[in-house]
């Protein structure tokens, strides 16, 4: 069973949004340092129930929050999305040392991510984000 394991909040100004969540809820942020602004959010201690996420720049999708669902194997997750009537919006993207990711769209037009944890993940040829597709607006 797939479980939500990460969230992304999209923002016109990621730094301003991070300041809001830091002040309102005490979240901590670290810049991922990639080719685009991606602020990793720690929402609380690891021994408490909850998930961590990120704040990133808003792009084509008008969706404010994008959840990521963990899958055992990326290929099986992508196939399950297609078989259920959804669409895989991007190619399998390696997040070095973390796993494999892609954006998808459900039957209602909502964008979400699928993620396979795999510490051996490495990009095939280009760094993560170099040719990253952004989800298209519904």
CATH number at residue 82: 3.10.180.10
- What is the rounded average pLDDT of the residues 39-58? 92
Using DSSP's 3-state secondary structure scheme, residue 35 falls into: coil
pTM: 0.70
pLDDT tens digits for range 58-95:
876 677 889 999 999 999 999 999 999 999 999 999 99
What is the rounded average pLDDT of the residues 26-48? 91
Which tokens belong to 130?
């170099």
Q: Does 1 score more than 90 pLDDT?
A: no
Q: What is the pLDDT of residues 88-134, one digit of tens each?
A: 999 999 999 999 999 999 987 888 899 999 999 988 764 444 444 44
Residue 125 has what pLDDT?
Answer: 60
Same domain, 80 and 105: yes
List the alpha helices (DSSP H) in 7-119: 14-25, 74-83
Q: Whole domain around residue 118: which residue ranges?
A: 71-128
Please tell me whether residues 31 and 75 are part of one structural domain: no
pLDDT for 128: 44
Quote the number of domains for the chain.
Answer: 2
Boundary-marking domain end, from 19, 35, 59 = 59
- Measuring CA to CA, which residue among 52, 57, 130 is closest to residue 91? 130
Predicted local confidence at residue 48, as pLDDT? 86
């Amino acid at each position: 069973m797939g479980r939500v394991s990460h969230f992304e909040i999209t923002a016109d100004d990621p730094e301003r949004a991070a300041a809001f969540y830091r002040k309102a809820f005490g979240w901590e942020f670290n810049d991922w340092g990639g080719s685009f602004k991606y602020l990793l959010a720690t929402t609380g201690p690891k021994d408490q129930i909850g998930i961590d996420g990120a704040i990133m720049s808003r792009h084509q999708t008008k969706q404010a929050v994008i959840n990521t669902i963990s899958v055992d194997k990326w290929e099986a997750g992508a196939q399950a999305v297609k078989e259920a009537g959804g669409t895989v919006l991007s190619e399998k993207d390696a997040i070095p040392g973390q796993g494999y990711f892609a954006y998808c769209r459900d039957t209602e037009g909502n964008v979400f991510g699928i993620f396979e944890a795999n510490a051996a993940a490495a990009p095939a040829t280009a760094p993560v984000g170099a040719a990253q597709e952004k989800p298209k607006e519904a």
